[in-house]
């Protein structure tokens, strides 16, 4: 009588075959798809460091900060295994709203575009582009007359600010 392999032997063989297939597929070339970045900071500095979460073509947690305080400076993304730049930033469409009673302020920018480049480490050769939306919320101080201080040089009340950026677009990582 012939012995029929048990279910466990079949499962082991199937798992081994799947592992070989996955390894072969994983080494076949670059990964391409939609890449998303979600950035958050509570800093009010002119060049804040953002906590960054990447998902899509690659998933990682790291940081992003502009290379300098110049408005045209690229963001330097630092993730485990390497860095890259989000550069060629364009200005978007801005809107702002201040609640005259609470002095809560919301500043919103949509339609900012960017390009991915200058990768190092595992991001060497990264390419891509996309659009971003920025939202700033915070509370402005009140003047002695009770009005909100909306001067262009005023700083928000300490601890009241959050800035978020959501960026997304096609990317290729070799």
Using an 8 Å Cβ cutoff, are 105 and 87 in contact?
Answer: no
Using an 8 Å Cβ cutoff, are 56 and 173 in contact?
Answer: no
pLDDT computed for residue 21 by the predictor: 36
Q: Tell me the two tokens of residue 7.
A: 């279910």
How many residues are present in the chain?
174
Buried b (16+ CB within 10 A) or exposed e, 136-150: bebbbeeeeeeebee
pLDDT beyond 50 at 8? no
pLDDT in tens, 118-152: 999 999 999 999 999 999 999 999 999 999 999 98
Using an 8 Å Cβ cutoff, are 94 and 112 in contact?
Answer: no
Query: Does pTM surpass 0.85?
Result: no
Closest CA to 64 of 146, 147, 165: 165
pLDDT beyond 60 at 1? no
- DSSP characters for 36-77? EEEEEE---SSSPPEEEEEESSS-EEEEEEESSSSTTPPEEE
DSSP 122: G
pLDDT in tens, 87-126: 999 989 999 999 999 999 999 999 999 999 999 999 999 9
Backbone angles phi, psi at 161, to 5 degrees: -105, 145
Residue 87 neighbours by CB distance under 10 Å: 16
Percentage of the chain beyond pLDDT 90 is: 78
């Amino acid at each position: 009588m012939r012995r029929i392999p048990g279910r466990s032997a079949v499962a082991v063989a199937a798992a081994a075959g799947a592992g070989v297939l996955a390894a072969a597929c994983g080494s076949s070339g670059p990964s391409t798809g939609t890449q998303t970045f979600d950035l958050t900071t509570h800093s009010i500095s002119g060049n804040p460091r953002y906590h960054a979460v990447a998902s899509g073509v690659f998933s990682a947690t790291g940081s992003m900060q502009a290379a300098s305080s110049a408005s045209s400076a690229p963001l330097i993304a630092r993730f485990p295994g390497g860095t890259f730049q989000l550069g060629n930033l364009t200005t978007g469409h801005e809107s702002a709203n201040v609640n005259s009673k609470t002095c809560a302020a919301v500043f919103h920018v949509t339609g900012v575009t960017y390009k991915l480049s200058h990768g190092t480490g595992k991001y060497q050769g990264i390419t891509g582009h996309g659009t971003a939306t920025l939202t700033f919320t915070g509370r402005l101080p009140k003047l002695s007359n009770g009005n909100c201080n909306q001067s262009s040089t005023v700083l928000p009340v300490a601890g009241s600010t959050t800035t978020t950026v959501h960026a997304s677009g096609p990317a290729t990582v070799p």
